[in-house]
Amino acid sequence: MITVRVSWLRRGEYEWAQHVRMARAAGMSDAEIDAISAGPDSAVWGARDAAMLRSVDEIVADRHVSDETWKLLAEYLDRKQLMDLVFTIGAYDLLAMAFNTFGLQLDPGLAGFPPVGP
């Protein structure tokens, strides 16, 4: 969920394709994958998942997690997990930038971003 949201925000299609495949294999539903583009305010997400997605949005946009989001996350995650979350978001943000810069193409058979509406 975290890596899929980072790749959506950073338009990292290679990461998107790889991690959507892995998310499905781990049990993420198509409705949840579709809700990634809507972000943390989608009705699909519970409070914990919404807070985690909000942290992705904040780090990608501002390089910082707000006090309010951090407080919500701390209700569900311990200190190590909070740190892991920040580093995971940052690492995949960097990978999206690198892969986009290098023009990394999708592996054969993988679907890229879903088509944008009308």
What is the average per-residue pLDDT within 111-117?
A: 76
* Structural domain span for residue 18: 2-102
The owner of tokens 């989001």 is 69
Here the CATH number for the domain that contains residue 41 is 1.20.1290.10
Q: What is the pTM of this model?
A: 0.91
Structural domain includes residue 107: no
Structural domain includes residue 115: no
Output the six-digit token pair for 116: 């944008």
Q: Answer yes or no: is pLDDT of 71 > 90.
A: yes
With b meaning 16 or more CB within 10 Å and e meaning fewer, what string describes 37-74? eebbebeebeeebbbbbbbbbbbbeeeebeeebbebbe
Q: What is the pLDDT of residue 116?
A: 66
Structural domain includes residue 90: yes
Report pLDDT digits (tens) over 1-57. Answer: 999 999 999 999 999 999 999 999 999 999 999 999 899 999 999 999 999 999 999
Structural domain includes residue 110: no
Q: Answer yes or no: is pLDDT of 118 > 70.
A: no
Q: How far apart are CA 17 and CA 13, in angstroms?
A: 6
Structural domain includes residue 109: no
Structural domain includes residue 96: yes
Q: At what angle do helices 47-62 and 2-9 cross, to 10 degrees?
A: 40
How many domains in the chain? 1
Query: What percent of the chain clears pLDDT 90, i.e. is strictly above it?
Result: 89
